[in-house]
Chain A
Amino acid sequence: MTIQFNDETFRGAYTFKNSEWALKRFPFPFHEDSYMYSVNMEQHKGGPAGSIYEKRFDVDEHYLSEMRDRAEVLKEDPLRCQSLPNMTLAGWDLLELIMVSKSEDYPDMFELQRKGDKWRWINKPMGIDDSFTFLDEATLPFGPMEYITRQTQGDFVVLDQRDENLWMDAGMVTTQADWSLDFDIGMNFFEWHAPVPKAHEMGIFVRALKFLLNVQQGAPARRLNWTMTVNPLLDTSPENYHKWGTQKRTITANNIGEKQHLRVELQTFFRLPRSNALVFPIRCYLASFDDLMTVPKWGRRLHRVIRDLPEELATYKGFIDNRPMMLDYLSKFDDGKPTSNGIWPDRETEPLRD
């Protein structure tokens, strides 16, 4: 196996860490020195070798630990995984999409054998070897969506498409940035987006919806989104705000570099063929400020972006109170030099800082 999986936690002692490999492929979300909310969609058709864009469902060193974390969240709160009755077929669609993609993209780790509707799925990292009948729920230990998303990093929202709208009718959501499946289940696109400031006026959502309704089979799309999280906590759900919200106040000038994390979501969109539903995987990548600052370009840019971000966005993203402390820390890494375009570090011209 090519990936060395970490044994780490996203809670308690927070032993989560990024290796140099993981940091090198971290999806730094700012392609210029400022940030504007936008839909910024592109086709999800591979990307540079080794990057998080390369495979349809990226597997990295955090895989096993993230799956352990998900199982724990589900044990405490089974409502993090829900599927309305009309979404069962879409669940099978998703299972098929992930099994086919992973077995093709990572043949050393995943194997799928199909004889008609008799399927065998081998997930070597997780030690799973299951045989089942496709489209027969009774042959799996969970519903098809739950079964496969207990084995796949990232949250999954499955949207039914009808009446020129998208409806959040199923999902597996345990690593969300402060939103709740249980609250949003059954809502349409406009209902679940309601709290975003300003963007609504810009007509951005109307355009985004139009784009998503037209995502076609065989032509998935992707975008990045970001926010801030104190401590490498995956499960920042409203249900648990009382547990993690208070952690924001534990930040000090001394520990900020280690505790403050940039949280980046790779959002992808796939049309599901048998159900015509849309699946929206939201994959979360975390990196501490200290780790990010090892890339000089990212240091300069993050400082400028955070400094110039409009107040309502900083509020919406939940770090307005800590912004002054962030800026104290980040400004030390901004020497005022110009930065190159695009998200990638300038490794050739500027080596990493220690």
Chain B
Amino acid sequence: MSGSEKINVKVSKIVLLNDLVTRFEFKRIDGELFPTFSGGAHTIVEMKDGGITRRNPYSLMSDPMDQHSYAISVRRDDEGRGGSLFMHNNVKVSDDMVLSYPVNLFSLDLRAKKHLMIAGGIGITPFMAQIKQLDRSHGNWELHYSARSPSLSAYADDLVSMHPNDVHMYYDSENKSIDLENLLDGQPLGTHLYICGPKGMIDWAVGQAVNLGWPNEVIHYEEFLAPKPGKPFQVMLSASNKLVSVGETESLLEAIEREGVDAPYLCRGGACGQCETVVIEAEGEFIHMDHWLEDKEKLSRKKIMPCVSRFDGKTLVLDR
């Protein structure tokens, strides 16, 4: 049971939003309706990149009620392992692709009296769907969105023109940043906080909220870690008795899958815990990249999250 159900789609539209971000829209090949989803859900996009099958998670940003198409926005990462580059450089309109059913690890808490959203850069995407969902149910929300510059702020113009009172923009290029302390201070009781953006921003915002006494139950964040490239290494899969080489630009999980070994996953971004794998033997350094394992688990050298983490050393034996 790895991942979730799949949907065969065709790329129906590609829209360049700015220098870095492109939107991809999909239609189902079988002509059926897409499943509805909840704002904050992601889909895993399968890419056949040469001999490698990449599977990257992207937040669904289309209207959750629209069952005729799905849309994602992809930020090009020139330093990454190539998933986003593949989307930008190789994917053309009318290409066939495979998406997973939606999975939501960042859903709205519908008990909230108000939803306060903090977005950084491409972290805007899950909020696009959540805002559409909340507008339909007359939910109370407010978005604070920071980006490098006006020209690199995907969807900012649309958001501001449609919701002039609820959307607040902050640009690094104008030296404007979110005054979180004041913002949090003035919130009504029952407000929930949602943060999506780069790791630094999440840590900062969560830290501030916790310091101000906000309980954990009302703080929600999503951070997808793109697996980082790294030095090649070898891994022994003991249950399936296979020695696997992990290449520079593929993740440990992708290498395991390449060898035909079925391994569980959901988010492929170090967040959900599904891919947790037992380490049987290790001689060398773990490069833990996930935010699932507790620090003491990482130190114990007994567990690894193969969707994002790597290894540098002589021997690694996994129970897989």
Contact = CB atoms under 8 A, between A and B. Distances in A.
Interface of A: 84-87, 89, 135, 160-163, 210, 214, 216-219, 273-276
B64 A218 contact: no
Interface in B210-260: 216-217
Contacts of A87: 110
A219 B5 contact: yes
A276 B216 contact: no
B66 to A, nearest CB: 12
Contact of A160 (B104, B110, B216): B110
Nearest to B3: A216
Given A216-B101, A274-B36, 12 more contacts: A85-B111, A86-B110, A86-B111, A89-B137, A160-B111, A214-B274, A217-B5, A217-B35, A218-B35, A273-B36, A276-B40, A276-B107
B274 A217 contact: no
30 contacts: A85-B111, A86-B109, A135-B136, A135-B137, A160-B110, A160-B111, A161-B107, A162-B107, A163-B216, A210-B273, A214-B272, A216-B4, A216-B5, A217-B4, A217-B35, A217-B37, A217-B103, A218-B4, A218-B101, A219-B4, A219-B5, A273-B35, A273-B36, A273-B37, A273-B38, A274-B37, A274-B38, A274-B65, A275-B107, A276-B107
Interface of B: 4-5, 35-38, 40-41, 64-65, 101-104, 107, 109-111, 133, 136-137, 216-217, 266, 272-274
A31 B4 CA distance: 28
B295 to A, nearest CB: 18
B5 A273 contact: no
B278 to A, nearest CB: 15
A276 B5 CA distance: 16
A162 B103 CA distance: 14
Nearest to B217: A163
Sorted from nearest, which 4 A-B pairs have the closest CB atoms? A218-B5, A276-B107, A86-B110, A216-B4
Nearest to B110: A86
A217 B101 contact: yes
Contact of A162 (B64, B109, B137, B266): B109
Contacts of B101: 216-219
B107 A214 contact: no
A8 B103 CA distance: 43
Contacts of B103: 216-217
B127 to A, nearest CB: 16
Contacts of B102: 217, 273
Nearest to B112: A86
A160 B38 CA distance: 13
Contacts of A210: 273
A218 B1 CA distance: 13
